[in-house]
Structure 1
Amino acid sequence: MEPDELSAEDEALRSFLPTSFGKQSRTANVKAQIDLSRRKPAAEPKQLPGISADTSSGEDAASAASDAEDDSEEEDEFPVSHEMLLKTHQRAVTTATLDPSGTRLVTGSTDCTVKFHDFAAMTPTTIRAFRSVDPTATKGSANAESHPVHQVLFNPISPSQILVITALPQARVFSRDGELLTEFAKGDMYLRDLHNTKGHIAEVTCGAWHPTNRDLCVTAGTDSTLRIWDANNKRAQKEVIVHKSRIAGSAGRTRMTAVAWGSPMQGGNNLLVAAALDGSLAMWSGEGPYHRPAADIRDAHARDTWTSGVDISADGRLVVTRGGDDTIKLWDTRKFRAPITTVTHPSTSSQYPTSNIRFSPTSANILTGSETGDLHILNPATLRPELVTPVTPGSPLITVLWHEKLNQIITGSANAETHVLYNPNISTNGAKLVMSKAPKRRHIDDDPNLTMDLAHGISGDSVITPGGAQSAATSFAARHPNVGLTASGRSRDPRRPHVPATTPFAKSQPDEKHIREHIPLSSMRDEDPREALLKYAEKAEKDPMFTNAWKTTQPKTIYAELSEEEEEPEKKKVKR
């Protein structure tokens, strides 16, 4: 048989056998994986009954072709062609933040947790959070209850600090790894003058970092105050700004709903802008003085509506607000009297008070969500939509963020989903990096549902030897701590009991031996006090210490003798 005929016969066998030995490098089809993350086009609107679409004319065909070209241009202009989905929360995602380098994503939710995600550690098959933190149940907190998370913000100057705002009077600063660094003080609610309290006396609604000073941040609360804090001093705020409401019958107090602290990119004075529940919008100089606003608009939005979003443009000239009166308004800081532009936009602040609105990194566009789950990219001059794309249809879009370095858009929705929108042509790292990695290979031993079944316990005739099944299971659990867990960190097995976390406070508790050896009279805790006193009864009778002066003069106690007819009185029953 000729060699050519032999090779043709054994071609299938040769393709099956390995061509080399040793560890094989894993390669990923990057283009195919990125194509899988491409977003599906929006469904075409349904035709109404009795109306037919006429596309026979050449003009309509030309317009359709031009629309298709415009859509392709929009995909290249805005990073919305592809997406990566994160399902790490159980309830609505109310806030999201990225560090300036774009490597770490932190999200907050109404499930009272803060999730930490690292793009460098994720693969297309392992998109999950590496840590979950309950910010109100950490060491040093006086509250054991959990509360919803309103806002999380990375420090733009020092990425190692994260400002966390929850439904409590105390804001907190965490590290990028989820460790509590600072918990600001709580004020005295019985003091009438709010300038004299050391912190908020009511719930904090929002906050912002100083744009140029790494140590300063501001928080706004329902006690009608803005408080500027030094992250290195948690005992008292640095400045107090009391916003006085002009509504009759409010006693000069109102709830602060949104705050923004901006600095012009080309230099200049910082701006501090805040909105209140009475519909007012106030502006202060970012560096002070704060005794009175530099400009104040009394009826910026409708009274008693929650203005959930405020943001300042990169040049410091424009301010955009999203009110609870179903309007979006654009303001000029140089003529802070009346809005430049006003458009109608349905609000979701009554149900989700953290619904925000943001400028793009270059302030060339404005981003916000809608109650229908669409992402709206608006023109800052006219506030008209340049692009409306569905993200979570039927579920309100709460929070939006456009990261400058990654050129990617992060959205959080009421259905507990976090979407990272990107375009492989104009975006860098982030979700694009995750989708460019090879999927993580899983061995069959990594699935405990296939390797062990302890539903009926261990049989009695089984032999357990040291280093056997139990040791193997223990070492497996040590090597694979996340196997068998959901993306949110919960066990997939409902029979698995809850294992309490070992906190540093529990580690500092002294043991019994230390108490017995080093703490005086500690053994008295285990003694019966009655027996401890009765063992000195005989000594007290022979050698009275306190009644020795009346020993010779004390009369002898004489008891009446009982006759034969009389019975001994019954002893009183001891009440137990």
Structure 2
Amino acid sequence: MDPNKLGEASDRMSDDGEMASVMGFSGFGKKARTFDLDAIFEQTRRTAIERSQRALEERQTEKEGESSKSAESSLPTQRDKSAAASSRKQESSGDSSSGSDSDSDSDSDSELIGPPLPPPYTAQGDEDELARQSHQPGSTAHSDDEDDDEDAEDDDEDDNVSLKLKKIPDTHEITLQHGTKTVSALCLDPSGARLVTGGYDYDVRFWDFAGMDQALQAFRSLQPCECHQIKSLQYSITGDVILVVSGNAQAKVLDRDGFNVMECVKGDQYIVDMANTKGHTAMLNCGCWHPKTKEEFMTCSNDGTVRTWDVQSDKKHKSVFKPRSFQGKKVIPTCCAYSRDGKLVAAGCQDGTIQIWDRNLSVHTKFHCKQAHIPGSDTSCLSFSYDGVTLASRGGDDTLKMWDIRNFRKPVNVATGLTNYFTMTDCCFSPDDKLLVTGTSVKKEEGNGKLVFFDRASFQKVYEIEVTNASVVRCLWHPKLNQIMVGTGNGLAKVYYDPVKSHRGAKLCVVKSQRKERQAETLTQDYIITPHALPMFREARQRSTRKQLEKDRLDPKKSHKPEPPVSGPGRGGRVAAHGGTLSSFIVKNIALDKTDDSNPRAAILRHAKEASDNPYWVAPAYTHTQPEPVFAEESEEDEEAEKEPEWKKRKI
């Protein structure tokens, strides 16, 4: 090749290098480190063979009874040294055989591409390497003792409990005043935007978190079931309708705004077989929606049946489940629930049993626990866990029990001493399925109702919240909002939340300042349309409400402007505040008098000394006869008149 061309090429390359260094991207062209895979595989194979030989030698030394096993294993043998030397040679040969590219980059192999790791990660990597070496066979590191293992397990349990406690959102709370009587029903829509409360005062109140301010007022209140107590409220899975279960025999379905959508039909109370009636014939106890089918819901009643319904057909129920005791007698169900997949129907009964049916087979029970709770105590709630395996039951016998559906003969765990005075006291699982929550009841002025949290695994009480000086009836832990709603026996609905862990819900309304009532809104007057009136009497049509409000505000008659105070002697028949009349002077002096006349006797005795020293009314009349006053003498006629009987005295 021509040497002139070579010189020109070298000059061009040098110019390109200078230009790249000036532009700042000369370092991005560095090649990544290359490896010879054959050499690495060969090295791995050799080290594996050497390790197996070393393990075989250690077994032989153990059989021979040599006591210096750990010392010898900690020191590298000659074979190890030779293996290390051969591996180094192999690595160097592999690097040399990788070609001219690896030779050209041999100086930069030690440099890492990209920024170096920060010090904490490098220190952590060194600790991991030391821990890995300590667990290798033949190392001098001692294994942990049993005591250390137990301490570690205890520490792990404490850490788990603390982690579960950190998930409870109870740092902040708001109080919604439903009324003065027990809040016996509580529900949130699936999105968590609206809360609905119902109580013993027959009212159902709607609360919108996004529309409320700090006044915390319900935007709607109604009585859908007239004079019947509200037993249960629940939104459907789509959140468009609400199931209302009250003390009558007919459940209702309302839309989001409280308008009636459907009312269940009432059955014939004179028919003996309740399966042949179209609906319930006695008071309802509980109700809930199907978790998968948005048109289906279920109710249970004192007529001894559990019925499923369809929103589209209000003329008759879909299916009937009849709880029975082992003697075949009718049993009243007090609560009912669907499983999470909707395939099972569970009912808690007054005789203490829990009966579970397959949804498609309504005759015989699939699971039947004979003595779940004490007979005669009303089981107030059944709740399935999110995994669908565990069932929690809140009994009227002051217990909370957890059951495994796969082995339904005896409870997995039992908690006692939880007072329950209501037939609708709730229990529910936390969103992560690791905690179980329920409320306790108290008598009036005998303590505070509590919200108690139990660990699902160990069933130990891990936390409790003192809610108020009344019973805690309803509790609800919404999974999306991560907020806890509580209904109490004194008409309050409380919402517990955490500003960091909770989302939306109560956080939306506590940040809004209370809106003031606009005074101008009360000044508006209706526009009267008079098409046949004369032009001189016809009112001008209002073009803008705002402008009309401003005009009405300036009009003293329409805005009811108060009359200003009169200054001076008075005019127009009005007297000034401090005029020249006697009455105004007396009123002014009375207003300016600072003496306290609340005690009239003390006010009179205040002048006693002055009256005795300077008499004015009676004593000056006797100044000429002083010091002995002269009184009128009594005559004989007066004495005779006094002696006469009362009936003889002349009447004047």
Q: What is the CA deviation profile of residues 50-83 of structure 1, one whole-angstrom value per residue up to 9, with x for unaligned ones? A: xxxxxxxxxxxxxxxxxx9999966642111100
- Whole-Å separation in 1 of the counterparts to 2:557 and 2:299: 52
Q: Pick 1 or 2: higher relative contact order, CA cutoff 8 A, min separation 6.
A: 1
Match of 1:228 in 2: 308
- The partner residue of 1:332 within 404, 418, 421 is 404
Q: For 1:122, which of 212, 230, 235 is the aligned residue?
A: 212
Partner residue in 1 for 2:173:
83
After superposition, the C-alpha distances for 1:118-148 in whole angstroms (9 at most, x for unaligned) are: 1111111x211111110113xxxxxxxx011
Q: Compared with structure 1, are the counterparts of its residues 339 and 471 closer, same or farther at alpha carbon in structure 2 (3 Å cutoff)?
A: farther
> C-alpha displacement at 1:471, in angstroms?
7.6
Aligned pairs for 1:167-246 (under 5 A) are: 167-246=247-326
Alpha carbons of 1:321 and 1:75: their partners in 2 closer, same or farther (altered >3 Å)? Answer: closer
Shift of 1:317: 0.4
Q: How does 1:299-378 map to 2 (within 5 A)?
A: 299-348=371-420, 351-371=421-441, 372-378=448-454
1:278 is aligned to 2:347: no
Q: Which one-letter code corresponds to 2:219 in the other structure?
A: F
The runs of 5 or more residues in structure 2 that have no matched partner are: 1-157, 442-447, 524-551, 561-652
Whether the 8 Å contact between 1:75 and 1:81 is mirrored in structure 2 is no
State the match for 1:252 in structure 2.
329
- Residue of structure 1 aligned with 2:461, choices 385, 404, 408: 385
Matching of residue 397 in structure 1 with residue 448 in structure 2: no
Query: Retained in 1: the 8 A contact 2:232–2:286?
Result: yes
Structure 2 CA distance, aligned partners of 1:177 and 1:227?
A: 26
In the alignment, is residue 436 of structure 1 matched against residue 508 of structure 2?
no
Using a 3 Å threshold, how does the CA distance of structure 1 residues 469 and 73 change in structure 2: closer, same or farther? Answer: farther
Indicate conservation of the 8 Å contact 1:319/1:330, yes or no: yes
The letter of the residue matching 1:234 is D
- Number of equivalent positions: 367
What corresponds to 2:225 in structure 1? 136
* SS of equivalent residue, structure 1 residue 391: strand
What CA distance in whole angstroms lies between the structure 1 residues aligned with 2:250 and 2:264? 6
Report the AA paired with residue 170 of structure 2. Answer: V
Which of 415, 426, 429 is 2:490 aligned to? 415
Quote how far apart the aligned CAs of 1:434 are.
Answer: 1.1
What corresponds to 2:82 in structure 1?
Answer: none
Q: 2:339 aligns with which of 262, 279, 282?
A: 262
Encode CA deviations 1:341-391: one digit per residue, 9 max, x unaligned: 11203232xx42111111122322111111231111111123222211111
Q: Take 1:470 and 1:254, find their aligned partners in 2: how far apart are those partners?
A: 72
1:95 is matched with which residue: 185, 190, 197? 185
Q: Find 2:244's aligned residue among 157, 161, 164.
A: 164
User: Post-superposition shift, 1:403?
Assistant: 0.5
Q: Distance in 2 between matches of 1:239 and 1:78?
A: 40
**SS across alignment from 1:121:** coil
Q: Report the Cα distance in structure 2 between the residues aligned to 1:134 and 1:72, rounded to whole angstroms.
A: 44
Q: By how many angstroms is 1:270 displaced?
A: 2.1
Residue identity opposite 1:343 in structure 2 = A
Structure (1 or 2) with the larger CA radius of gyration: 2
Give distance in 2, aligned partners of 1:102 and 1:117.
Answer: 11
Distance 1:120 1:258 in 2: 33
| 1:269-310 deviation digits (Å, cap 9, x = unpaired) | 722111100111111123x11111101111111101011011
Corresponding residue number in structure 1 for 2:365: 293
User: What is residue 152 of structure 1 aligned with on the other side?
Assistant: 233
Give the structure with the higher percent helix.
Answer: 2
**8 Å contact from structure 1 (residues 257, 277) kept in 2:** yes
Name the CA distance, whole Å, in 1 between partners of 2:161 and 2:518: 43
CA distance in 2, matches of 1:274, 1:471: 65
Letter matched to residue 89 of structure 1: G
Deviations 1:220-276 (A, max 9, x none): 1111100000011111000011112235xxx71121111110224xxxx72211110
1:195 partner SS: helix
Distance 1:471 1:320, change over 3 A: farther
- For residues 163 and 213 of structure 2, the distance between their equivalents in structure 1, rounded to whole angstroms, comes to 30
Note if contact 1:76-1:423 (Cα within 8 Å) is conserved in structure 2: no
Partner SS for 1:335: coil
Q: Secondary structure at the match of 1:427?
A: coil
The 2-side partners of 1:313 and 1:470 are apart by: 67
Gaps of 5+ in 1: 1-67, 138-145, 449-466, 474-576
Q: Give the share of equivalent positions with the same residue, in percent.
A: 33
Give the conservation status (yes or no) of the 8 Å contact 2:283–2:301: yes
The secondary structure found in structure 2 opposite 1:120 is coil
Looking at structure 1, the residues matched to 160 and 410 of structure 2 have their Cα atoms a distance apart, in angstroms, of 35
Cα distance in 2 for partners of 1:164, 1:211 equals: 17
Matched residue of 2:406: which SS?
helix
1:148–1:358 CA distance, 2 compared to 1 (3 A): same
For the aligned residue pairs, the C-alpha RMSD in angstroms reads 2.5
Deviation at 1:208, TM superposition (A): 1.2
Q: Secondary structure at the match of 2:170?
A: coil
- For the structure 1 residues 472 and 223, does the alpha-carbon distance in structure 2 shift closer, same or farther, using more than 3 Å as the test? farther
Secondary structure of the corresponding residue to residue 433 of structure 1: helix
Instruction: Give the Cα–Cα distance (whole angstroms) in 2 for the partners of residues 192 and 208 of structure 1.
Output: 26
Task: Judge conservation of contact 2:169–2:502 (CA < 8 Å) in 1.
Answer: yes
Report the 3-state secondary structure (helix = DSSP H, G, I; strand = E; otherwise coil) of the residue aligned with 2:361: coil
TM-score (norm 1): 0.61
**Residue pair 2:400, 2:418 contacting (<8 A) in 1 also:** no
Tell me how far apart the structure 1 counterparts of residues 556 and 272 of structure 2 sit (CA, whole Å).
Answer: 67
Contact 1:94/1:149, CA 8 A, preserved across alignment: yes
Measure, in 1, the Cα distance between the counterparts of 2:338 and 2:558. Answer: 56
| CA distance in 2 between partners of 1:380 and 1:73 (Å) | 14
